[in-house]
Amino acid sequence: MARVTVETVEHVAKLASLSLTSEEKETFARQLDEILTYAESIQALPTDDVEPMSHARTSEIFRPDVPHQSLPRDAAVAAAPDAADGLFRVPKIL
């Protein structure tokens, strides 16, 4: 199975929007390799006819589709590190 290298960690960190120091990358590569090696025990279990379980409550849950008051805009932006005119302000995207 997979061997976790520093390159793997770099790739995954990018997917997860996490900047890591080179020391963190090395530590995580070593530790994740150890954890995934341990987790390989499940690979030997026969599961061809087993349904995957995503949730303990699998029934569909519905509610009436009725409009209701959501969180007021001022309250929603109140905790933002930077907001203006009821909007979240972010650094430039392009």
Partner 1 sequence: MSALYDLGAAEIAEKVTRGELKAMDVARAHLDRIDSVDGKVGAFLSVFAERALEQARTVDADVAAGRPVGRLAGVPVAVKDVLDIEGLPTTCGSRILEGYRPPFTATAVRRLESAGAVILGKTNMDEFAMGSSTENSGYKKTRNPWDLERVPGGSSGGSAAAVAARLAPIALGTDTGGSIRQPAALCGILGLKPTYGRVSRYGLVAFASSLDQVGPLARNTRDAALVLSLLCGKDPHDATSADEDVPDFVGAVGRGVDGLRVGVPWSFLEKGVQPAVLEAYRTALLTLEKAGASLVEISLPHFPHAIATYYIVATAEASSNLARFDGVRYGLRAREAGELRAMYGETRDAGFGPEVKRRIILGTFVLSSGYHDAYYVKAQKVRTLIRADFEKAFTHCDVVATPTTTAPAFRVGEKANDPLQMYLEDIFTVPANLAGVPGLSVPCGFASGLPVGLQLLGRPFDEATLLRTAAALEDATDHHRQTAAL
Give the interface with partner 1 as residue ranges (CB under 8 A): 1-2, 4, 8-9, 11-13, 15-21, 24, 27-28, 31-32, 34-36, 38-43, 45, 47, 50-57, 61, 63, 71, 75-82, 88, 90-93
- Per-residue DSSP letter, 83: E
CB of 65 to partner 1, least distance (A): 13
Task: In angstroms, give the least distance from the CB of 92 to partner 1.
Answer: 6
Shortest distance, CB of residue 78 to partner 1, whole angstroms? Answer: 6
Q: List CB contacts of 10: < 8 A, sequence separation 6 or more.
A: 20, 25
Task: Name beta bridge partners: 83.
Answer: 88
Q: Which residue has the tokens 């979240």?
A: 88
